[in-house]
Amino acid sequence: MWSTVARYLVLLCLLVAAVGVAHLAGLPRPVLMGLMVLVYIAIGLFTAASHALFMDLTDPRLGATQFSTFMAATNGCEAWAAWTGGRIAGTLGYGAAFLIMPVIALTGLLFLRGLAKTIPGGTGVELSRQPGSDFGMMIDAHTHLNNYDETKVVPLAE
């Protein structure tokens, strides 16, 4: 999953840099708007892939807490990036900000490679709701909830 996130990060950074180049080159607004549409599509792809990566890295036994921490870190990164991008744009202009910020974002690739799914015990299970109780059952992680199969449900405690 990390390689998918890395690909979308590179795509996103290339598109943002293209907007910076187009802005500095003085290309017409329709061209800039077309590039921004592509940027927002890439943002959606990157966001979906990174959330999937965070879900893969989350230990099911403390999923809500751990996933919330990942989301908080994501929000902190977005806040930092918005502040930094604003400072760069205010000092050097929008074109420069759209060229500098992707370079900074690409440093995240150094961290992505080191990620591995390290769940103690390596059980590969997820928590799921049992009708009438809260999180009382475990479901095989490879069973998609859309294709729910009761034969794969195992009680937590007998």
What are the domain boundaries of the chain?
Answer: 2-112, 125-155
pTM for the predicted model, two decimal places? 0.66
Give the integer Cα–Cα distance in Å for 145 and 17. 39
pLDDT at position 62: 84
**74 half-sphere exposure, CB direction, 13 A CA radius:** 14
pLDDT at position 6: 83
pLDDT at position 58: 84
Convert the pLDDT of each residue in 101-144 to its tens digit. 999 988 877 776 666 444 333 334 343 433 443 333 333 343 34
Task: Provide CB contacts within 8 A for 105, sequence distance 6+.
Answer: 9, 12, 13, 16, 81
Cβ neighbour number for residue 70 with a 10 Å cutoff:
16
Give the integer Cα–Cα distance in Å for 112 and 93. 30
pLDDT at position 99: 94
What tokens does 151 get?
Answer: 């034969």
Question: Amino acid identity of 106?
Answer: L
Give the integer Cα–Cα distance in Å for 152 and 142. 10
Give the integer Cα–Cα distance in Å for 5 and 1. 7
| CB of 97 closer than 8 Å to CB of 20 | yes
Convert the pLDDT of each residue in 55-103 to its tens digit. 888 888 888 898 899 899 989 989 999 999 999 999 999 999 999 999 9
For tokens 């919330």, name the residue.
Answer: 68
Convert the pLDDT of each residue in 15-61 to its tens digit. 999 999 999 999 999 999 999 999 999 999 999 988 888 888 888 88
pLDDT at position 110: 77
Give the integer Cα–Cα distance in Å for 40 and 33. 10
Give the integer Cα–Cα distance in Å for 145 and 149. 8
